[in-house]
Amino acid sequence: RIDLRSDTVTKPTPAMRRAMSEAEVGDDERDGDPTTRRLEERVASMLGKDAALFFPSGVMANQAAIRVLTAPATEVLVDATAHIVEGEIAGLAALNGVQIRPVRPSGRVMHAGDLARAIRQPSRYDPALSAVCIENTHNSAGGVVTAPEELRAIADVAHGRGLPVHLDGARLWNAAVALGTSPAELAAHVDTVMVAFSKGLGAPIGAAVAAPASLIDALWTARKLFGGAMRQSGVVAAAALYGIEHHYDRLAEDHRHARILAERLDGVAGASVVPPDTNIVMIDLPSGMDAEQVVAAAGLEGVHVTAWTPTRIRLVTHLDLSAADTDIAATVIARVLTAAR
């Protein structure tokens, strides 16, 4: 069985489980959990921010960050196909009382010009804008990387209008490795940044928000409001620390495997592969071919992928996928595409 549905499917390795079982722990809310504190300090320094707060999930972390940056009855400007729009129920509305103002990207992802065009002059008839969100890498667009210069341009547009910027960096590690830069450089111009540990780094769960010191108390309160106050969270934080120490540099291998899949599958039976920047491979099927059918046929041969839209399938490479698995997956999917023709 080869599972390419997501990089969330990875299981903690024996060594990661050992680190978890040996973690020094305490009651995080009462006294501070020492391993969680270590993780938060490490993440804050990796992202060049004053402080960071550990969360059980990326969704909760995104929602808490948006809560502290916005006020109810305002609008958040965000790329129309962002995870915050498509993958978090209607959390912005239900939890935070804010409305999404989707920005339609002119390219694959939102650029500074797209954002500038979406910002209205303040008017008593329109909802006030309160924040801007960006996603790097961009999942739905196919793991697309936004480079530091563009991030700076986007932040300049937002800050020029007095709007804070939240970066959904669930896969910011992948962007940094792909660009050969540091996560701090990619987070330099944003106000808050969420990073996830349960994707490429292979931890079972977990995320963090890094932010200026002035926002940490409010983030703590938002996390508690959403049911995320922590106790002996060091058991899980240890897995995240282990992932940072041991699984960060190898993300380049996932990117290599994604490129191999793309090279082997582009053009097969008329399929068109979006060239991957990182570990997500989007395959657009030729007209008449149905994504659900392709997914079912590949599944029967033990290769599991996702129907992203009725005409697009998504493959994600990760820690639990070897070079040999990549080769088998490419062979199986090529065969399935040819048969579906």
Ligand X SMILES: *Cc1c(COP(=O)(O)O)cnc(C)c1O
> What's the rounded Cα separation, in Å, for the pair 323 and 83?
29
Shortest distance in whole angstroms from residue 207 CB to ligand X: 5
164 to 193: interface string for ligand X, x by CB under 6 A: ----x-x-----------------------
The residue behind tokens 């990073």 is 195
- Of 44, 133, 145, 207, the residue at the interface with ligand X (CB under 6 A) is 207
- Least distance CB 1 / ligand X (angstroms): 22
Judged by CB, which is closer to ligand X: 164, or 228? 228
Q: Is 10 in the site for ligand X (CB under 6 A)?
A: no
Q: From CA 219, how far away is CA 225, in angstroms rounded?
A: 10
Angstrom distances, CA of residue 166 to CA of 54, 171, 172, 215, 280: 16, 14, 13, 12, 22
Among 59, 76, 134, 237, binds ligand X (CB under 6 A): 59
Q: Which is nearer to ligand X, 130 or 198 (CB)?
A: 198
Residue from 10, 192, 198, 326 binding ligand X (CB under 6 A)? 198
- Nearest partner of 112 among 152, 66, 70, judged by Cα: 152
Q: Which of residues 137-156 bind ligand X (CB under 6 A)?
A: 139
Beta-carbon contacts of residue 80 (< 8 Å; ≥ 6 apart): 102, 103, 104, 105
- Give CA–CA dist 332/313, Å, rounded: 14
Question: Cβ closer to ligand X: 175 or 207?
Answer: 207
Nearer to ligand X, 62 or 70 (CB): 62
How many residues line the site for ligand X (CB under 6 A)?
A: 12
Of 207 and 303, nearer to ligand X (C-beta) is 207
Q: What is the DSSP letter of 270?
A: G
Over the window 39 to 58, marking each residue x when it contacts ligand X by CB under 6 A and - when it does not, the resulting string is ------------------xx
Closest approach, Cβ 196 to ligand X, in A, equals 5
Measure the CA–CA gap between 315 and 91, rounded to whole angstroms: 26
The residue within the footprint of ligand X, chosen from 196, 294, 303, 329 (CB under 6 A), is 196
Residue 150 beta carbon to ligand X: minimum distance, rounded to whole angstroms: 17
Cβ-proximal residue to ligand X, closest one: 58
- Using CA atoms, how far residue 317 sits from 3, 145, 171, in Å, is 9, 16, 13
Would you state the structure tokens that stand for residue 124, as one six-digit string? 């008593």
Report the alpha-carbon distance of residue 54 to residue 206 in Å, rounded: 7
Within 10 angstroms of residue 147's Cβ, the number of other Cβ atoms is 15
Q: Which of 75, 79, 114, 135 binds ligand X (CB under 6 A)?
A: 135
Least distance in angstroms from the C-beta of 5 to ligand X: 12
Binding mask 63-102 toward ligand X (x if CB under 6 A, else -) reads --------------------x-------------------
For residues 268 and 285, what is the distance between their CA atoms, to the nearest angstrom?
10
> CB-based contacts of 174: which residues, under 8 Å, 6+ apart?
137, 143, 145, 200, 251, 254, 255, 278, 279
Q: Which is nearer to ligand X, 198 or 317 (CB)?
A: 198
Q: Which residues bind ligand X (CB under 6 A)?
A: 57-59, 62, 83, 135, 139, 168, 170, 196, 198, 207
